[in-house]
Amino acid sequence: DVYKRQVSTQSTWGIIHLNMRIGSIAVILSLVVLAAVQAQTSELEFLLSRHKKARIDPSTLSNIDEVTTNHFFLNLTVDFNTKKLAGTNTLTLRSKVKNLVRVDLDIQGLNIISVSSDQQHSGLRFQINDVDNLGKIIGYQLSIYLPRSYGVGEVFNITVKYETTDEAKAFSWMTPEQTAGKKYPYLFTQCQTIACRSVAPLQDTPAVKSTYSALLEVPSPLTAFMSANVTNYIVGKTSNYITFQMNVPIPSYLLAIIVGNVIQKPTGARTFVITEPEVM
């Protein structure tokens, strides 16, 4: 019995010692992981703090203190084969300073092809900047150099030709199998909070509110809706063309697009539901 008790005691202390060693290793590993996470967080916080000090709204790379958007017009073609939108965004801008020579816009996941203005159609010089190394977090800055300087209150137009890429965060492309009808593909956007910069180059901040209009070309027999009123609908052989108008100035994050086999049904005097006919 004494021998058995000694063996049992030794085994118990061995298990306790082993558990203590395992526990110590787990604590050390946890501390290492925590230190790595804290280091990454500290680096990100440092970059963001440095970025915030110089800007009114740290979420935008637009020079909103120098110029503002009155209106923008989207002319886009939706391609489900390439999962891209391609076309132009024409911005009507108003200078807020005496000597405006450059316009900065927010972009993310966009391929910028060319930029022109109402005074220079041959193309304006532009460059894409990764400000404070935050490109992968909040997107990039599209800097456009104007053909001349603009004074306070002067209004002018800029047109950016572009296409979306696979990195555009606002878009969700659904296959027919993912829809209720199982027959047609479906596209919808989610711009909140700062993903509208992947739909179009613009001043993507709630500090700027503007009206907008749009012309969308979508493959037949699909249709499209936006967070705006439909003003015209043209049915073509291979494509449908829908125009929209939003007359109330809104922040960019309220821009919305859906394309698919969808219908609209009123639920009241000023409200309605848009969805697939199979679930209406």
Residues 6+ apart with CB under 8 A from 216: 74, 76, 77, 78, 224, 226, 241, 242, 243, 244, 257, 259
Cα 150 from chain centroid (whole Å): 29
Instruction: State residue 41's pLDDT score.
Output: 54
pLDDT in tens, 50-105: 455 556 799 999 999 999 999 999 999 999 999 999 999 999 999 999 999 999 99
Instruction: State residue 25's pLDDT score.
Output: 52
pTM: 0.81
Look at the block and give the residue holding tokens 């053909």. Answer: 147
Q: Which has the closest alpha carbon to 88: 200, 187, 195?
A: 200
pLDDT of 38 > 60? The answer is no
Instruction: State residue 120's pLDDT score.
Output: 79
Share of the chain above pLDDT 90, in %: 76
pLDDT in tens, 124-171: 999 999 999 999 999 999 999 999 999 999 999 999 999 999 999 999
